[in-house]
Amino acid sequence: MSKRQVSGVVILALLLVVGVIARLLIGRDPSLGGVLFNWPDENILVLRFGAVRSAIVGGACLGLSGLLLQALLRNPLASPFILGLSAGAGLGAMIAAWSASVVGAGSVAWIAFIAHGADGVIPGTVGSLAVLVLVYALGHRGGRLDPLTLVLAGTVVATICGALTLLVQSLMPPSSRGDSWMWFMGQVPELPSRGAIWTAIALLFCSFLASFQSGSALDVASTGDDEAESLGVSLRSLRILLFVCAGALASASVALCGPIAFVGFVAPHLCRLLIGSRHRALVPASVIAGAAILVWADAVRQSIDVGAGRLPIGVLTALIGGPVFLMVMRSRRMRAGEWSC
Amino acid sequence: MLKIDSLSFQYGRRSALKEITASSSAGKVVALVGRNGSGKSTLLRAIAGLAHPSVGSVSWRGQRLARLAPSRRALEVAYVSQRPILSIDLTVHEMIALGRFAARTRLDSILRIDQAIGLMGLDALKERSFHELSAGEQQRCVIARALAQHETNGLLALDEPFSNLDPGETMRVFAALQKSAQAGALVVVAMHDLSLVDRVAENVWWLEQGQMVAAGAPIDVLTPAKLQEIFHCEFVRGAQGLTLAARV
């Protein structure tokens, strides 16, 4: 790696470490109604460590998923949230939970596995990949994959998936619905389920290895389908492998934190600013950047009280990421059509 | 030896190539000519092993290129498309270095890349961003990448590589392609400048509506009468070779 790449990764790692320390120190005291900045007692510390762990793993999954989608689709606007993968994962998990509540998952082993497989990650992955295939097919215009048509298709499919998720949820018995409103706005659980977090860590590890190994191939894949194939990249194999990784990572983050907007979009762009475009360096950088962004967002929201408790993290990331998205969409390079493929 | 045997290709129901049969030995520059939409790009993609024919086959040194894995095929054939695409921000040097992705040994890669940069006159631009270059400079950059990629006796397939080049750069690029051919490569290049074809190509393959209507030496194939019939404009053949008459 070049000097710039190494220093960029070090800056991101420092950003993450400082964010972790800040999150461990920042808290709220409901009785005093203010922000506390101190080292908490052991019970509180366990909860804050749990939140830090969720934010690191969830953010890292989103960062890498966003990078893979942007690279493989040659679209700077791509991310698991914008393309509807997060909504598809949510719908997949909700349908599985509904099926289990109707049929009785406890009595049939294979239904239990599908419904609760790794705390919703398995049905979520099926949902996110189904959405990816659909959005990919709808994103073509005049025989070519058009960046803005792809985003439009993703937005519409995400809206439909969101509506279907609410529909399926309303069919479930009230006792099975849980605290789903908070889940829809994104959350950083202080007590994440062991299944969800360990599944996410395992998927993140495997996806990281596959992506890092494919770093040079991803650089070549940025040259267009015909040229990439002629330079020696098997695009079909690369896309199947890394789309599955991107879908599984989106699903893992949704199972852990719910649908969180724009982290998967902003993290790769931040990394490109710091270290350039080579994917061998972008892969680890995006993992660290995604984790750092979510940890910092969780730390910042501790100090924002909107009168009904802490600001949901998904709202905060959308408020920050939305304008960045618009800036990229209106950037000179997008207007010049350099990203069209 | 490149051998195209009864090659047909369809885009959905539309037939793009019909029963094309042709062959060429290595060490030559073959120009692929014809009107827009005549099937030149499709034939070039089929030659490069990127388009799988509906019927027939393309073989290079006895191997069917479309059946080879991309990593294996990249050692045999280098391809340049009409419109260079790069969705990430790379320097000219990094872009050209992508040509060595499939190389089995990295030892000579640095030398090959530097040679290609020198041949295309890109020394002064090699640290510039690819996206900051003019269309002609980008074109030279992707040709340099193909030169860095292809093996000495390989196959070079280029789709209208001169479309954005000024006359001086056109001659520079053609000189580099001829040098590759003299070293043992087969260069197949789709192009529209028939005067240039007449001067520099050893063989011409003429496509019309997906069919090969003529093949042979430029002087035999590019006759003024035939060109008038196809392109509805007047060509004259004189001491300077084939030229477009001033009056259209």
Residue A341 belongs to a domain: no
pLDDT at B247 over 60: no
Asked if the C-beta of B74 comes within 8 angstroms of chain A's C-beta atoms, the answer is yes
CB–CB contact B84 A223 (8 Å) = yes
Other beta carbons within 10 angstroms of residue B124's beta carbon come to 9
Q: Which residue has the tokens 């993703």?
A: A154
3-class secondary structure, B117: helix
What residue of A is the nearest CA neighbor of B75? A232
What residue of B is the nearest CA neighbor of A340? B87
Among B42, B80, B88, which would you mutate to test the A interface (most chain A Cβ atoms within 10 Å of its Cβ)? B88
Domain, as residue range, for B120: 2-244
pLDDT confidence of residue A98: 82
CB–CB contact A222 B131 (8 Å) = no
Nearest to A231 among B86, B88, B101 (CB): B101
Q: Which helix (H) or strand (E) holds A221?
A: helix A215-221
Residues of B in contact with A233 (CB under 8 A): 70-71, 101
Among A223, A272, A334, A340, which would you mutate to test the B interface (most chain B Cβ atoms within 10 Å of its Cβ)? A223
Residues of A in contact with B150 (CB under 8 A): none
pLDDT confidence of residue A340: 46
pLDDT at A341 over 60: no
> Which residues fall within 8 angstroms of residue A159, CB to CB, at 6 or more apart?
A87
Residues of A in contact with B94 (CB under 8 A): 219, 278
pLDDT confidence of residue A294: 95
Residue A317 belongs to a domain: yes
> What CA–CA distance (Å, rounded) separates A285 from A16?
11
Residues of B in contact with A341 (CB under 8 A): 85, 87
ipTM above 0.85 for this complex:
yes
Report which listed range, A328-337, B77-86, B98-107, is most confident. B77-86
Residues of B in contact with A214 (CB under 8 A): none
Chain A neighbours among B 170-229 (CB < 8 Å)? none
Question: Into how many domains does chain A fold?
Answer: 1
Confidence of residue B85 (pLDDT cuts 50, 70, 90): confident
Residue A162 belongs to a domain: yes
pLDDT digits (tens, 9 = 90+) for A87-127: 898 888 888 878 877 766 555 555 555 555 556 677 888 88
Residue A263 · residue A62 · CB < 8 Å: yes
Across A188-197, A309-318, A327-336, least confident range? A327-336
CB–CB contact A277 B98 (8 Å) = no
Residue A339 belongs to a domain: no
Q: How far is A243 from chain B (nearest CA, A)?
A: 18
**Three-state SS string across B138-191, please?**
HHHHHHHHHHHHCCCCCEEEEECCCCCCCHHHHHHHHHHHHHHHHCCCEEEEEC
pLDDT digits (tens, 9 = 90+) for A265-303: 999 999 998 998 999 999 999 999 999 999 999 999 887
Asked if the C-beta of B88 comes within 8 angstroms of chain A's C-beta atoms, the answer is yes
Asked if the C-beta of B241 comes within 8 angstroms of chain A's C-beta atoms, the answer is no
Q: Hey, what are B92's tokens?
A: 């000219």
Q: Hey, what are B17's tokens?
A: 């190539």
CB–CB contact A276 B86 (8 Å) = no
Domain, as residue range, for A71: 3-334
pLDDT digits (tens, 9 = 90+) for A46-101: 999 999 999 999 999 999 999 999 998 888 888 898 888 888 988 888 888 788 77
Q: Hey, what are A144's tokens?
A: 């070519």
Q: Are strands B241-244 and B235-238 parallel, antiparallel or unpaired?
A: antiparallel
Q: Hey, what are A145's tokens?
A: 């994959």
Confidence of residue B192 (pLDDT cuts 50, 70, 90): confident
pLDDT digits (tens, 9 = 90+) for A13-24: 999 999 999 999
Q: How far is B243 from chain A (nearest CA, A)?
A: 34
Residue A340 belongs to a domain: no
End-to-end CA distance of chain B: 40
Q: What is the mean pLDDT of residues A326-331?
A: 77
The DSSP bridge partners found for residue B208 are B211
Residues of A in contact with B98 (CB under 8 A): 219-220, 223, 231
The letter for the amino acid at A182 is: M
Q: Hey, what are A207's tokens?
A: 């996806």
Q: How far is A221 from chain B (nearest CA, A)?
A: 9
Using beta carbons and an 8 Å cutoff, which residues of A are at the interface with B?
Answer: 71, 74-76, 216-217, 219-220, 222-224, 226-227, 229-235, 272, 276-278, 333, 338-341
Nearest to B87 among A74, A229, A231 (CB): A74
pLDDT at B74 over 90: yes
CATH number of the domain at B108, please. 3.40.50.300
CATH number of the domain at A190, please. 1.10.3470.10
Residue A75 belongs to a domain: yes
Q: Hey, what are B124's tokens?
A: 């002064």
pLDDT confidence of residue A97: 79
What residue of B is the nearest CA neighbor of A224? B85
pLDDT confidence of residue B246: 61
What residue of A is the nearest CA neighbor of B86? A223
